[in-house]
Amino acid sequence: MLLVSYEFGAFLIILAALYYVVPDRFQWAVLLAFSYLFYARGGVIYLLYPLITTASTCFLARAMGDRTLRFQAWVKEKKPGREEKTAYNRKVKAGQRRLLVLGLVLNFGILTILKYCRFFLENVNAFLGLGGGEGAWGDWILPLGISYYTFQSMGYLIDVYYRKYEPEKSPVRFALFVSFFPQMVAGPISRFDQMRQELYSPHRFQMENIILGARRMLWGYFKKLVVADRLGPAVVVIISSPETYDGIYVLLGMVGYTIWMYADFAGGMDIVLGSAKLFGISLPENFDRPFASKSLGEFWRRWHMTLMLWLREYIFFPVSTSRLAKRVSKPVSKIMGKKAAGKVPVYIATLTVWLVAGIWHGASWNFIAWGLANGVVLLVSQELTGCYRRFHAAFSFGKTRAYEIFQVIRTFFIFAFLEMFEYYSFGTVFAMGKSLLTCWSAGQLFDGRFEALGLSGADLGVLALGVALMVWSGFRKTKEAEKGEHRTFFAGYIAVFGLFLLVVVTGVYGRGYDASQFIYNQF
């Protein structure tokens, strides 16, 4: 079921009517039933995958939790000494670790087979010179949201292993955490300890939640239909023909692709978070004004925040403290000293995180190159931290507002350049970068190529308005925005109606490609 469809609107209305009519204790069950209905619209057979993840994760987590409870009961009854307690706990953890590995292998195995097997076979066959490589795997369709609910479920399993909280006993209730319909499309990747109260607690009907949810959804539809779907076809023309669109068009492609992706992804997240808010449920935010960032590191703390937090907690920290990372750093210590050796685990963990981030985004060498390029730039920036500090201490203009604006613009273009690895091959990225620096002029905009992009004067005007509104909204602080939304119901109604008119009057509905699909659906 598409988020941009009349069917989804009817789905929400019917669900809201039932949700607020049934007794409080059944509200979560209504959400679960409709979540499965939402997922089944893409094909009933695909329900099998989230059901396997739900059953396996719940069973293994409960098994780990039971072992923890038995250990705690044993300690309470026997009151063992420190060594005896540590030895018994080590034995318990060994058994829990086997359960954890089983869950990770099973669920990441399903994700790997469905999402990456074709990529792997094509590359193996290309390496061996066999040709082809698609076979039966080419006909498999990737289930909706599998990367999101797999990461979310495995995060829960790892948390239970580390005893951060007790596991959910009911597999039916846990199923709602795995398959809550708004976040099945494009996230966010939630944590169970954050969502337990939100999903299972009763929610009374409040007009305030309806207004806030509708306003957030309409703002998302504005980003999607007014900006992303108007800009997208033109960007596709540019990035699909690097041999034609060089020079200044490389800059237009970089900037256009970045704005297109942000409007599409952030718009989708607004629809998702607004949909959940209609039922009084607050999902974690995924964006925090990323284009106000002054460095790439800060940018990635503000963009796709739930994925970045997941990668940091479940990959960066375990890898950086692993025995392997410490073992690799030992020879470095002998050659280059302890200071250099201390950085090795961070380097390994950072590159691992960004390799996984690239692979997560897509089964292609483009995404792998994109991920590693981000990791390298972040590590270089980290190494230059001392130089930045000395520069800011030596020159007073480094503390001015003008310099801060420069940092924001610089970060935007660094991000936009790195995004080129997603749609160009590795060599083409640098060739196009050279073209941008050496052979461009404003006159190229009037040589007939711009007209082929399909953007009329009216389109450009609406795009300028849409981007301006996004910039204005992005620089409003969250707390100030919430206060403004809570002033009066009348103001809320006016805002919702105004956004509705903007979307209806200026929106684009499926011109030139499947505008109903979001970019991040494929991930």
Determine contact, residues 245/237, Cβ cutoff 8 Å: yes
pLDDT exceeds cutoff 70 at 483: no
Determine contact, residues 260/228, Cβ cutoff 8 Å: yes
Tell me how far apart the alpha carbons of residues 456 and 413 are, in angstroms, rounded to a whole number: 26
Determine contact, residues 221/271, Cβ cutoff 8 Å: yes
How open is the CA angle 430-369-340, to the nearest 5 degrees? 100
pLDDT category at 518 given cuts 50, 70, 90 is low
Q: What is the DSSP string of 51-91?
A: HHHHHHHHHHHHHHHHHHHHHHHHHHHH---HHHHHHHHHH
Which tokens belong to 291?
């284009």
* Residue positions counted in the chain: 523
**93 Cβ contact list (under 8 Å, min separation 6):** none
Query: What does the pLDDT read at residue 42?
Result: 80
Determine contact, residues 415/299, Cβ cutoff 8 Å: yes
pLDDT exceeds cutoff 90 at 481: no
Query: What does the pLDDT read at residue 515?
Result: 46
184-216 tens-digit pLDDT? 888 899 999 999 999 999 999 999 999 899 989
Among the listed residues 270, 114, 272, the one whose alpha carbon sits nearest the alpha carbon of residue 185 = 272
pLDDT exceeds cutoff 60 at 324: yes
Among the listed residues 469, 472, 464, 462, the one whose alpha carbon sits nearest the alpha carbon of residue 504 = 462
CB count within 10 Å of CB 317 equals 13
Run of H or E residues at 302: helix 296-302
Run of H or E residues at 199: helix 192-200
Query: What does the pLDDT read at residue 387?
Result: 86
- Residue 242 amino acid letter: P
pLDDT category at 493 given cuts 50, 70, 90 is low
76-87 tens-digit pLDDT? 888 888 899 999
What value does the mean pLDDT take over residues 59-66? Answer: 96
pTM of the shown model: 0.88
Please list the residues that pair with 287 across neighbouring strands: 303
Q: What is the DSSP string of 405-427?
A: HHHHHHHHHHHHHHHHHHHS-HH
The DSSP secondary-structure symbol of 241 reads -
pLDDT exceeds cutoff 60 at 330: yes
Our measurement of the distance from residue 329's CA atom to the centroid of its chain's CA atoms, rounded to an integer in Å, reads: 32
The DSSP secondary-structure symbol of 314 reads I
SS3 call for 287: strand
pLDDT exceeds cutoff 80 at 142: no
Sign of CA dihedral 198, 199, 200, 205: positive
Residue identified by tokens 């939402």 is: 38
